Amino acid sequence: MQQTGSQILFTALKEENVDTLFGYPGGCVMDIYDELFRQEIRHILVRHEQGAIHAADGYARASGRVGVCLVTSGPGATNTVTGIANAYMDSIPVVVLTGQVPTAMIGNDGFQEVDITGITRTCTKHNFLVRNIGDLHRTVREAFQIARSGRPGPVLVDLPKDVIQSVTEAELPRTVVPPAEEGRPDLEGLCTEALKMLLQAKKPLIIVGGGVILGKASEVFRAFVKKFRIPVVSTLMGLGAFPASDPLWTGMLGMHGAYSANMAVSHCDLLIAVGVRFDDRATSKVEAFAPHAKIIHIDIDPVSIDRIVRTDLAIVSHCTPALDTLHRLSDEQGLTLPERQIRAWLNQLRQWKAEMPLSYCRNQNIKPQYVIEKLHQLTQGRAIIATEVGQHQMWAAQFYRFDEPNAFLTSGGLGTMGFGLPAAIGAQVACPDRIVVDVAGDGSIQMNIQELGTIAHYGLPVKVVILNNLYLGMIRQWQELFYGRRYSQSDMTQAPDFVKLAEAYGIKGLRATKPEEVKRVLQEGLETPGPVVMDFHVEPEENVFPMVKPGTPLTEMAFGNVRAVA
């Protein structure tokens, strides 16, 4: 049977059970789009290619499946680069299909030609330039396999126009997908060693990271933690892996972490880190990180072992088999941590939590934290929250109190403003029955605001909550605290009327300017079918606290004026 490159591409996508493409057409992918016209696969037409890659990323984060984006050559491809780097930093499995000029033209500076495999070599897990139609099917399948295996990440496949247009008689190879990776053979030995260390601990603590969510290990993680009653702190990316409503929950650690979490890390005698890579925003001054603790590090990526923090025991493994083995071995041997051994530690943690909970002062203005608290209340904590980057992102992390994994979609590693809105699109497409909210700032939302067009086009019921303080708030906060209040280029007073802007897109717009309006606006926004933009005029100079100054120990937290209230 004769097949075109386009047909082979869609065959491979079908074999990978791809149900949605996020994309934007262009000259070099006209043939793919022509074939798409005949195919049943869903395509979401974004308004900018950066939106496509972030939407694929959001789809992957919310669903745990590989997200796919399709763009043309040249500018189409380069517009995805920020999003690819974003997915790479947060280990998100996405496959990026880019058009390319015909193979004979490559290297001749053709119209809309760019060396996208060269450009993305250091921000993809792997990339391919497909030169022959004979390689097309295998390459696309391999791209998905690479994207989701091991430590996941973005994979780009560059598709020259002639490869896509050409026709082959050859039968598609029966692509053999490698079997799921096994745990390491010495997992039992390492886990036995880990349990030995745990049984000796008087002040055990466990850090949960994004790897637990990516590895779909939340359940076994919870079971293991509860069995030994180990207090849990989380990285930004780990939020939701362990419920914030659980008594063992000790908070997010790091620069804007909870007092109890940063104190716990700084005083524990055993630290079990699961699926974390010790980002500098989490550890702050590395030399002062967990100074009294033996450290056990469980992670799938050997590169993250001993890179930042020296470990006493490294277990290179997916989180699920490692935690499964820990759980099983402790069951078999009837191991527990005696109450008297950790009682003092658990009391200490309770005290820290009571002493200095996350808090803020109320006044006649809307406090951004209050908006998040109300949002949590009205959605019963069950919404998927995407964020942009900045103050609002930290407030969402602190005050939404995530109980479930795959519910907090945030640009953790790269810190990409403009991520939240398209990520929310991807999440809403993946999870049509969930409430999906983009918590945004007035600065960030303007970075990919064109995606309101996509939301309107497909009637996606994404709710956008703008915490509008007319500043680039996090920049302003640093300028206030570290740069003598010189607010250099952080003033965003010249903002659009977000309500009218929403309405121009055919989207409902709501606004609250006083605290007593917050609940009503949120309620109306959440109850209205379809997309809604809610513009909250919040306290302009509110700061995110606690705050650890970069490069200082986690114990050196600033609280602003919060301490008086707590």
Where along the sequence are the contacts to another protein (CB under 8 A)?
117-118, 121-122, 125-126, 129, 146, 301-303, 305-307
What is the closest distance, in whole angstroms, from the C-beta atom of residue 50 to another protein in the complex?
A: 23
- Tell me, yes or no, if 14 is annotated catalytic: no
Tell me whether residue 126 or residue 519 sits nearer to another protein (CB atom): 126
What is the closest distance, in whole angstroms, from the C-beta atom of residue 121 to another protein in the complex?
A: 6
Contact (Cβ atoms closer than 8 angstroms) between residue 442 and residue 417: no
Pull the structure tokens for residue 137.
């099917």
Element (H, E) at 249: strand 249-252
User: What 3 state SS string does 97-165 have?
Assistant: EEEECCHHHCCCCCCCCCCHHHHCCCCCCEEEECCCHHHHHHHHHHHHHHHHCCCCCEEEEEEEHHHHH
- Tell me, yes or no, if 112 is annotated catalytic: yes
Give 3-state DSSP helix, strand, coil % of the chain, rounded to 5: 40, 15, 40
Q: What is the Cα–Cα distance from 528 to 511, expressed in whole angstroms?
A: 14
Q: What is the Cα–Cα distance from 547 to 566, expressed in whole angstroms?
A: 16
Tell me whether residue 123 or residue 253 sits nearer to another protein (CB atom): 123
Q: What is the Cα–Cα distance from 527 to 269, expressed in whole angstroms?
A: 48
What is the closest distance, in whole angstroms, from the C-beta atom of residue 118 to another protein in the complex?
A: 7
Q: Which of 3, 7, 16, 49 is the catalytic position?
A: 49
- Tell me, yes or no, if 111 is annotated catalytic: yes
Q: Which of 474, 534, 547, 557 is the catalytic position?
A: 474
Tell me whether residue 306 or residue 331 sits nearer to another protein (CB atom): 306
Q: Which of 14, 111, 200, 355 is the catalytic position?
A: 111
DSSP 402-460: --STT-EE---SS--TT-HHHHHHHHHHH-TTS-EEEEEETTGGGGSGGGHHHHHHHT-
Q: What is the Cα–Cα distance from 128 to 136, expressed in whole angstroms?
A: 10
What is the closest distance, in whole angstroms, from the C-beta atom of residue 178 to another protein in the complex?
A: 12
358 pairs with which residues across the strands?
none
Cα separations in angstroms, 311 against 109, 289, 295, 297: 49, 12, 5, 6
Tell me whether residue 287 or residue 527 sits nearer to another protein (CB atom): 287
What is the closest distance, in whole angstroms, from the C-beta atom of residue 15 to another protein in the complex?
A: 20
Pairing verdict, β 557-558 and 547-548: antiparallel
Q: Which of 30, 39, 105, 112 is the catalytic position?
A: 112
Contact (Cβ atoms closer than 8 angstroms) between residue 77 and residue 99: yes
Q: What is the Cα–Cα distance from 566 to 559, expressed in whole angstroms?
A: 10
- Tell me, yes or no, if 10 is annotated catalytic: no
Pairing verdict, β 294-299 and 67-71: unpaired
Q: Which residue has the tokens 């007073």?
A: 493
Pull the structure tokens for residue 224.
């293991």
What is the closest distance, in whole angstroms, from the C-beta atom of residue 146 to another protein in the complex?
A: 6
Q: Closest by alpha carbon to 209, among 264, 276, 273, 272?
A: 276
Tell me whether residue 135 or residue 162 sits nearer to another protein (CB atom): 135
What is the closest distance, in whole angstroms, from the C-beta atom of residue 122 to another protein in the complex?
A: 5
What is the closest distance, in whole angstroms, from the C-beta atom of residue 70 to another protein in the complex?
A: 22
Among all residues, which ones are annotated catalytic? 49, 111-112, 161, 474
